[in-house]
Structure 1
């Protein structure tokens, strides 16, 4: 059985998907980009601001499932330019304890939706 997780505190899906699916104790979170859920505008002022908005969107989805970043066991980070890795990693790292941080991969891709610079998805377990 699966439970659909959607919250108005994160950007609404713009296609045939949901923000997250809870199956048993495992939460599968769709990739988030830097849409501000209050304005539906992309936050692209800097790579740091963009990454922070992505992480805040993920935080909102986790909260809707009664979880926190402590529950995250796996992340996937997609970036359009590996030269931005350091700045993205610095912001991302503020949301996790280094000793208990999740497994992760970071992949440079040719292009992301709406030409954003970063998209992150996560898997969390209660």
Structure 2
């Protein structure tokens, strides 16, 4: 039977619902969607779009790190952004934060997200053996 391992870190906000920050199964790390929320769970929908992306990415990266993944070990990212016109600004911040890492990626324009946030990011990582 395949074991599921829950990954948790205090370097990202604790889940606000019935889910884990991440789950590791069969060597892969699945990170739940991260909104621009501070570690103390303060929702930062008041921030500019770019700063919301930075905070959501920082949360995802902290959880990936807790599971043994650096940016170079991210296999896939899905980003949900409010407004297709925000795509170039998302791309800019994303590239700055990931550097040379180029995981597979999907960007999904949506009309709205929880708490009035402008971005949500989830990821799949492949920790080094």
Please list every run of 5 or more consecutive structure 2 residues that lacks an aligned counterpart in the other structure.
none
Cα drift, residue 65 of structure 1? 0.8
Cα drift, residue 94 of structure 1? 1.3
**Misfit runs of 4+, over 4 Å:** none
For the residues of structure 2 that align with 1:101 and 1:112, how far apart are their CA atoms? 25
C-alpha offsets along residues 25-78 of structure 1, whole Å, 9 cap, x if unaligned? 100010101001146241632111111001110111011112111110111110
Aligned pairs for 1:1-126 (under 5 A) are: 1-38=3-40, 40-42=42-44, 44-98=46-100, 100-126=101-127
- Is the CA contact 1:43–1:53 (under 8 Å) kept in the aligned structure 2? no
- Is the CA contact 2:45–2:116 (under 8 Å) kept in the aligned structure 1? no
For the residues of structure 1 that align with 2:51 and 2:99, how far apart are their CA atoms? 20
For the residues of structure 2 that align with 1:97 and 1:80, how far apart are their CA atoms? 24
RMSD: 1.4
How many residues are aligned here? 125
For the residues of structure 2 that align with 1:76 and 1:5, how far apart are their CA atoms? 19
Query: What is the TM-score when the length of structure 2 is the normalising length?
Result: 0.90
Query: What is the TM-score when the length of structure 1 is the normalising length?
Result: 0.92
> Structure 1 residues 13-22 or 33-42, which shifts more?
33-42
2:59 alignment partner, SS class? helix
Please list every run of 5 or more consecutive structure 1 residues that lacks an aligned counterpart in the other structure.
none
